[in-house]
Structure 1
Amino acid sequence: MRPYLKGFAYIEESMPNTLFSTGFAILQGKEGLNSKFLYLLFMFSADLMRQMEERMPKASYPSLNTEDFKEFKIPLPPLEVQEQITHTTAHIEQERTALENTIKSLEGQQEVILKKYLNRNI
């Protein structure tokens, strides 16, 4: 796994009988840990990224192994706070998606208007 590439994914539901590449680490949350919060830590925590980079060998194929993950120091807020953070970030993501869709729609409307009025014979 090369964490600096930010190739992290959050899988919402269990996927029985699924085969994953050996180039991936599959992490599961334990009791007292919101797994979505863990995903957000891996995506956005500069401290966690620093820890990962420090543990990667300086070889041509820098990577981490399963044992490296056990050594990371990850300060966790109470579960209630983790859930509040994940809920808030999910809400922001929904708003962002809605805004991106609005922008695409407005761009399309603008194109229609420009084609209609700028391509007229005067």
Structure 2
Amino acid sequence: MKMGGGYELNSSFIFDKALLTLIDNLPTPQDYNLTEWKNKNLREIKGLNFNPSKSEISKLPLDTKVSFVEMASVSNNGYIENKIDKTLEEVKGSYTYFIENDIILAKITPCMENGKCAIAKDLTNQIGFGSSEFHVFRTDNTKINIKFLFVFLNRDDIRKRAEKSMTGSSGHRRVPISFYENLQIPLPPLDAQEKIVQAINSIEQKISSLQTELNSLNGKQKEILEKYLF
């Protein structure tokens, strides 16, 4: 079976007819006027902002609670593993500022190459601060869906291209924000992006369900081995 874009998917791994139907019906450029589906530099996309300024929250009381995210707390698998509450007083300075649903992406080696990238979720007061070694991407979702952008950025081939653009001395090399500003993305209309994201979310849910089932079966296997072979 082919996914949109011509990618092959082995249906024996997706035990869900509804999910297979969803994937089979993903939109393609041929379903649209091609002027509505073309490559754009990220900096050309209206409503997409890079590394927003802390001045947005300059009038908040310094005792306001926010979430703090260390670099080590960002999983290599695309999510934030741990957050701790701090006050604005504690995080003012060089820490990176972001808010709910922003993308945070490591810019320093080897964290960038390892895939430390996540969408910020469940932040205290919807505000977050973290390592100064994060880039932040924010969209108003009028031209580009935040999950669509996240999936695009959080790919091995993008990281390999970013690695070639790093600057600085050995051990402290970083990807400049200009690399991402000039990065081209195939930009479908928003409704097509949302359908693609829906399919991705469904696949992720299926993977999570299968992983839970696998963990349960591994536990049953251990029980049997301990009961009968020890």
Matched residues, percent identical?
27
- Partner SS, residue 85 of structure 1: helix
Separation in structure 1 between the aligned mates of residue 175 and residue 196 of structure 2, nearest angstrom: 27
Q: TM-score, normalised by structure 1?
A: 0.79
Higher relative contact order (CA 8 A, sep 6+): 1
- How far residue 94 of structure 1 moved from its aligned partner, in angstroms, is 0.9
Given candidates 208, 212, 223, the residue that maps to 1:101 is: 212
Structure 1 segment 46-57 matched on structure 2, within 5 A: 46=157, 48-57=158-167
What 5-or-longer segments of structure 1 have no aligned partner? none
1:110 aligns with 2:210: no
Rg larger in structure: 1
Structure 1 segment 39-50 matched on structure 2, within 5 A: 39-44=150-155, 46=157, 48-50=158-160
**In structure 1, what residue type is equivalent to 2:116?**
G
Change in Cα spacing, 1:44 to 1:12, as seen in structure 2 (3 Å) is same
Change in Cα spacing, 1:34 to 1:109, as seen in structure 2 (3 Å) is same
Change in Cα spacing, 1:53 to 1:101, as seen in structure 2 (3 Å) is same
- Partner SS, residue 185 of structure 2: coil
Contact 1:51 1:72 in 2 (8 A): no
1:11 aligns with 2:120: yes
**In structure 1, what residue type is equivalent to 2:159?**
M
**In structure 2, what residue type is equivalent to 1:76?**
L
Q: Which has the higher helix share?
A: 1
Q: TM-score, normalised by structure 2?
A: 0.45
Matching residue of 1:27: 137
What 5-or-longer segments of structure 2 have no aligned partner? 1-106
| C-alpha RMSD of the superposition | 2.2
1:70 aligns with 2:184: no
Q: Which has the higher strand share?
A: 2
